[in-house]
Structure 1
Amino acid sequence: MNDLLSIIVPVYNNAKYLSQTLKSIQAQTYRTFELILVNDGSTDNSLEICRNAAGMDNRIIVIDKKNGGVSSARNRGLKIAKGKYISFVDGDDCIDSDMYRVMIDTLEAESADLVNCCVIKEENYKPISYKKEQSYVSTAPLNCLAKKGHFVDSSLNKVYTREIIGETCFDENISYSEDKLFVTEIFLKAKKVVFLDNIFYHYIQHKDSLSWQDNYDVWYGNFQVCKQIYTHIKSIESMDSEIKRGAFRGYVKSIIALLRYDIKNRDKDRYNSTLDAYKQDIDLFLQITPLPIAKRLEYKTYTISYFIASLVHYYFKRKK
């Protein structure tokens, strides 16, 4: 079927939420899909839920593999996907019933490489009735990587053509912000992208999910990805200078986020190590980037010393 959609769902200990996720996918008004459930070594009864669902719906394919992380699970799904179109859903999120019908209609009407919808973060799934919203077509996708309000960094709120994904896969050596790297690689190849103002994807924020975590590994993972993106984009001689500047801004802000985390958690040694390694990049950022005075002063305090940064961003805030 040349209009087949492959929906890839990595599953890892999602037993509490998986049935609702599957129900929202099976309720799609776009019916021509295969649903690839990749059980990534779950230790609860997620696999049983997947197999039971497959027994009642022949569009569902179940893969059971050893735990290797969300990137390895998505890549496994990509290897067997047969669809002309590809989409990803996490095993504890939900999507509205008209999502794929509207997005694929838009993709085909615009002859685009991918279409992106909006996302809502909520603790409990509340379906949103469909009504036509505004759309924006871009023939310069890289200029849209920083587009506000559309969760561009996420791989989940999109429908891609199989052709634009090609051999691109998720980096299995990265544990956090892997979506951002994958999406950037796709946008580097894309010629046309459509952004819908419709909210179709519901990012359910369970308290045991990564979205609630605030730890160094998360922020360091984001830094690694931003640095990798900047290094790649900077190396492309033909790349537009504004896109290079945007990648540089994202990279430096990821460094500042590391410094901010270490101030918050009173880790002086790690703070100083990070500042020693990347102070020149922050200084260059402050020299060439237009910023409001308050924001410039905020960033500048991180480059002076651990003592000054602590005074401004820790002790003064505690007294308020």
Structure 2
Amino acid sequence: MDKSGEICDACALKDKRIKVIHKKNGGVSAARNTGLQEARGEYITYADSDDLVGRTIYTELIGAMEQNGTDSACCSYEAFTGAGTEQGMAGSRTGVQKAAGSSRSRVETCCGTEAFKVFLRENNYAPVVWNKVFKREVLKSAEGLFLFEKNTTLGEDEKWLAEVFCGRETSVCFIAKPLYYWRRRDSSATHTEKEGITKNNLDSIRVQEELLETVKVLQDAELEELLKWRLYLAVMDVVRKCYKRRDTENFRCYYQKLKQIGKVRTFGESGTEKTRRLVWSVLFRLRVNSNIYAEMIVKMRKLWFSFWW
């Protein structure tokens, strides 16, 4: 056990605006929900454990919100390990409009469903909550606060952001500057390779399927294609794991799921190339074991030639 609780208590003694809540570990969603329910300030933000934040992140994000009159703000980020940093992948920011009074590309704004599509499409902004700030007043509807889904280990951020933005007028300004530093751990929940099909995999697939069903009422073809693309990648990750563990039964099951998804539209050259490499790497390894995995080889070849538009 570290001394983070003691450090927080010491900070609260120095500044009466700080409220510390000691809560038994019940998962990240439960902790976030408790914080959101107890918060009384004007703004809400989140930070993941072990990550780092830039010294000016909240000054710049809130300043951009006030200058542009938006309900939220989002900055770029950098991933880092013990060896250094890996810059967050920059995207084209298609569909984002330049904000009033800003430099040419530093700050841009959009709102509602269009904002959520930017999170899905642009890797440097991402459908996560830790690089964003929100006005507390926009995080609720007539039914109450937008709470995070419990018992979900991967995809809870994306689902929550969909509630906050899709079909609503929630606005956001984007700052094309890395102010948040996300720690990439090989042993973390999002980078576990030793197990077979994990709860992370199942949650990722389930969240995309549920979002696809939820957004149908919006009749937004691009949004559906974005979610379909993300679902395809989530299922492909399981297919790759099935190969590594020689799990032919689950391979057949998830291959059928890929067929049900059908052809997908790729978003950005990096996404296309990433998926081509993923399919090809699985196919190449299957060829090495062709006597055992003949059926897999045939099916992966079909994916190689038909998965993208």
What range is the shorter-chain TM-score in?
A: 0.7 to 0.9
- Corresponding residue for residue 169 of structure 1: 147
2: CA distance, partners of 1:86 / 1:298: 40
Counterpart residue type for residue 156 of structure 2? E
For residue 121 of structure 2, give the secondary structure of its aligned residue in structure 1. Answer: coil
Counterpart residue type for residue 285 of structure 1? K
For residue 180 of structure 2, give the secondary structure of its aligned residue in structure 1. Answer: strand
- Corresponding residue for residue 227 of structure 1: 209
2: CA distance, partners of 1:151 / 1:298: 26
Residue 242 (str. 1) matches residue 222 (str. 2): yes
1: CA distance, partners of 2:15 / 2:248: 55
Change (3 A) 1:211 1:250: closer
Counterpart residue type for residue 306 of structure 1? M
Q: 188, 192, 201: which one pairs with 2:180?
A: 201
Change (3 A) 1:297 1:141: closer
Q: Is the 8 A contact 1:168 1:182 kept in 2?
A: yes
- Corresponding residue for residue 129 of structure 2: 155
Shift, 1:71, TM fit: 0.4
For residue 246 of structure 2, give the secondary structure of its aligned residue in structure 1. Answer: coil
Residue 75 (str. 1) matches residue 33 (str. 2): yes
Q: Is the 8 A contact 2:72 2:132 kept in 1?
A: yes
1: CA distance, partners of 2:233 / 2:188: 24
- Corresponding residue for residue 255 of structure 1: 235
Counterpart residue type for residue 123 of structure 2? G
Shift, 1:123, TM fit: 2.4
Change (3 A) 1:305 1:97: same
Structure 2, unmatched stretches of 5+, are 86-102, 287-293, 304-309
TM-score (norm 2): 0.72
Shift, 1:296, TM fit: 11
Runs of 4+ in 1 over 4 A off after TM superposition: 288-294, 299-302, 309-313
Counterpart residue type for residue 249 of structure 2? D
TM-score (norm 1): 0.70
Q: Is the 8 A contact 1:141 1:190 kept in 2?
A: no
Identity of paired residues, percent? 23
- Equivalent positions of 1:78-93 (< 5 A) are 78-93=36-51
Change (3 A) 1:211 1:60: farther
Residue 138 (str. 1) matches residue 110 (str. 2): yes
1: CA distance, partners of 2:276 / 2:184: 30
**After the TM superposition, which of the residue ranges 177-186 and 137-146 deviates more from structure 2?**
137-146
2: CA distance, partners of 1:121 / 1:51: 29
2: CA distance, partners of 1:191 / 1:51: 34
Q: Is the 8 A contact 1:115 1:158 kept in 2?
A: yes
Task: Tell me how many residue pairs correspond in the alignment.
Answer: 260
Q: Is the 8 A contact 2:138 2:170 kept in 1?
A: no
**After the TM superposition, which of the residue ranges 81-90 and 172-181 deviates more from structure 2?**
172-181
Counterpart residue type for residue 53 of structure 2? I
Counterpart residue type for residue 226 of structure 1? Q
- Corresponding residue for residue 66 of structure 2: 108
Counterpart residue type for residue 272 of structure 1? R
Shift, 1:147, TM fit: 3.0
